[in-house]
Structure 1
Amino acid sequence: MATDGGAASSPAAKKANLLDPYSIQRLLDETVSEVVKSKGYSEDTRLSNRRLVVGAAVIAVALLAQFYPAKFPQNRDVLLICIALYVALNVVLQIVSYTREKNAILFTHPQAGSFNRTGLVISSKLPRLSDMYTLTIASADPQSKSSSEPVRFTKSVTKWFTKDGVLVEGLFRKDVEKLIEDHNSDHRSK
């Protein structure tokens, strides 16, 4: 376990339930997002906005099926179309989630003033019965000439938490900042 370093005494200390891996991952992911944004990257919400539009269409189809003015035998064709649309739109959402999002916690635009034309995709993984947290930074557009190879680290979460579940944010921030620097230095070496 990490040493306390005064983190527990600060009023804004970030604390997680050490028996709940989802609580630990959520806290680490939120901190990663803060660090990335503090480095001059802005969040790219285009994919999530598109998912919201498709989700709204799914809801509209369901509402149409529920509140169509005709009763059952007369609205049979409308119901069949609504069911088909509902299934198709949900399949689209699942495909996007499986192919584009994966374990992503943040999509970014390129840094302001940077020559790089692609943002970042930050993803994380904390397997269910493991203490090994994996953080990956990749280019948002791997086909771009300005993209670089993904960089990642895998470390035990015990390096960043005290025995009371308080995140020693300075240690974790250093690791995340180093990973961002590694990704950016790969761009400069090309």
Structure 2
Amino acid sequence: MQDKNSESANKSPKKANLLDHHSIKHILDESVTEIVTSRGYVEDVRMSNIRLFLGTIIIVIALFAQFYKKKFPENRDFLILCILIIYTKEKNAILFTYPPADSFTSTGLVVSSQLPRFSDMYTLVIASADPKSISANQPIKFTKSVTQWFTKDGILVEGLFWKDVEALINEYQKEPKKSK
């Protein structure tokens, strides 16, 4: 782990526009992805590929609709279905993973985040990719102000953020206490 910290010290600092919550959320989400994958979780890109495939189909349908003689194609139900699939499966997910190779658990993670507009409160949630699995742990989350992780110049203090995210991952990975 010492190598990762020295590696991040050699990189240029991550800077966000503090007036743009999308910029802040992007920097934090990107860092969360780095942290989770550094812990041995491999990213599962299947959902992203499905979303790209559905997006391509929607674009083809839209192009067809644009040049077809009817005013509105009969694809309204299909478009609504695509949006519902993305909304129900992805929600605010920023990362889907496979389980680590050396792990006994058979499920990966779904990492999601929220940073509401006009708010400084960043919420990070770690849950099982398969919540119905017997090896799935309960979802956990934290909500903290982004002001704890950024300097007044908008530079992310990665050490503090890594510490918080790694603590959340460690809490998720703890064995749940068995009730007798």
After superposing the two structures, state which structure 1 stretch, 53-62 or 132-141, moved more.
53-62
Quote how far apart the aligned CAs of 1:17 are.
1.0
Q: Deviations over 1:120-154 (max 9, x none)?
A: 00011111121111111000111110101011111
Of the three residues 117, 121, 128, the one matched with 1:128 is: 117
TM-score by length of 1: 0.81
Instruction: Give 1:170-185 correspondences, 5 Å limit.
Output: 170-185=159-174
Larger-Rg structure:
1
Would the alpha carbon gap of residues 112 and 11 (structure 1) be closer, same or farther in structure 2, given more than 3 Å must change?
A: closer
Q: Which runs of 5+ in 1 are unaligned?
A: 1-8
Q: Which residue matches 1:167? A: 156
> Distance in 2 between the 1:11 and 1:42 partners?
22
Q: Determine the structure 2 residue equivalent to 1:94.
A: 83
**Aligned counterpart, 1:155:** 144
How large is the Cα RMSD of the aligned pairs?
2.0
Q: Gapped runs of 5+ residues in structure 2?
A: 1-8
Partner of 2:30: 30
Check the 8 A contact 1:54/1:89 in 2, yes or no.
no
Give the fraction of aligned pairs with identical amino acids, expressed as a percent. Answer: 56
Aligned residues: 170
Q: How do 1:12-91 residues align onto structure 2 when only pairs under 5 Å count?
A: 12-66=12-66, 72=69, 83-85=73-75, 87-91=76-80
Show CA shifts across 1:80-118 (max 9, x none): 7xx123x23321221022211111111111111211111
Q: Deviations over 1:1-59 (max 9, x none)?
A: xxxxxxxx976011111111111111000000000011111111111211222222222
